[in-house]
Amino acid sequence: MPPLGYYPLAMNKENLGVGCFEPTKKAEQYVLKVLRSGRLTYGPFIQRFERKFARAHDSKYAVMVNSGTSALRIAFACLKEVEGWKDGDEVLVPTITFVATVNTIISNGLKPVFVDVDPRTYNIDPKKIEEKITKRTRAIVPVHMMGQPCDMAPIMKLVKKHKLKVVEDSCETMFTKDRGQVVGSFGDISCFSTYIAHLIIAGVGGLAVTSNPKYAEVLRSLANHGRDNIYISIDDDDNKKGKLFKQIIARRFRFVRPGYSFRVTEFEGALGCAALETAPGMMKVRKRNGTYLTKHLKHLENYIQLPWFPAHSNHAFMMYPIVVQKGSGIDKQDLVNYLEERGIETRDLMPLINQPYLKKLYKLKESDYPVAEWINGNGFYIGCHQKIGLPELAYIVRTFSEYFKKWEKKHNVSAKKR
């Protein structure tokens, strides 16, 4: 470990942001290959990325779309159509998640029902789920927050008992396991994001993953304007013999359901393929960074709660979440301002139920969800990505330590009382 006083004289603030993009030689080669091919629509790179990503998450099918939000949007639309859900049917969601989780439920005419989260993992609390289930409950959305899988065993037990569907919102978590099973393989449909601040980066993008062939068919149609799946790619024109070719000609401009234009280009597919090849190294560095921060910020645990995960799980550290401890006397906004002024970027820890439109629409009271209320007022996260090296980690630790040392001096608190 570098000494805590060692850090570059001129810190690169971009390296201390919450996300990064570092194009590899392979990414450049793949993108150049797309340019030279003259093929931008759905083609070999997107198809390869879909196959490999699905396989990495123990699933049979993946549909790449233009965002994780779009993946969620078509996931709920697919289940509503195939399973015969009605407007107003209910979907259980955690009180801490990015607003897209709820937006995509509402936009499909469904009703989100909020379940408070576990105070240590910030994921949906399995103990609080069953009391929220009604005759109109159709599904649950376990959101794997910040790189940490939900506690899936008790969730899946309730799913089986009440015959619910599962849409995993895994936009922040990839390649990570709970009790030996990889995220994305629990859900009827699972959704991922390849946006810039996430784990696999394709610029923009997302994937809806499933092992159900009917769902896969509907998902791909929905992402392509609701088109008849007989014609999704220009390659479908290549077979000029037999009855199938005549069917393609007759049906390639046929739309069988209301759909969306959620497609991506071969550029995103190329970037995704390149990123998959470096994913093991990326994951290793993120876990190293998360472990380092937890170890060297441990002396501040009376003031801030650090990431925790159970022995049956692990953590991808898409971000490094922190929550100011109750009764510590620390003002979260003062702390994040101090960090930001010194080049350490922060974000609020996914506040949801205090969002103005949701409070108005569903008459929400934060006090009804005490864990979320605490996190909303005291939670934030910092970057943990692979461009943050050991000197930057040491700088982060030093900056936190300096803040609390100054706070203790200002408030006449002895360090021994930590």
What value does the mean pLDDT take over residues 281-289?
97
What value does the mean pLDDT take over residues 263-281?
97
230 or 269, greater pLDDT: 269
Supply the pLDDT for residue 3.
37
Supply the pLDDT for residue 242.
59
Supply the pLDDT for residue 6.
34
Residue 406 has pLDDT above 70, yes or no: yes
Give pLDDT tens digits for 28-49.
Answer: 999 999 999 999 998 999 999 9
Question: In order of start, what are the domains of the chain with their CATH numbers?
Answer: 25-272 (3.40.640.10), 278-411 (3.90.1150.10)
Which of these, 135, 149, 197, lies nearest to 345 by C-alpha position? 197
Per mean pLDDT, which range of 52-61, 81-90, 247-256 is the poorest?
247-256
- Retrieve residue 346's tokens: 């922060």
Give pLDDT tens digits for 226-249.
Answer: 987 766 656 655 555 556 666 766
Phi/psi of residue 275, nearest 5 degrees: -65, -35
Side chain identity, residue 131: E
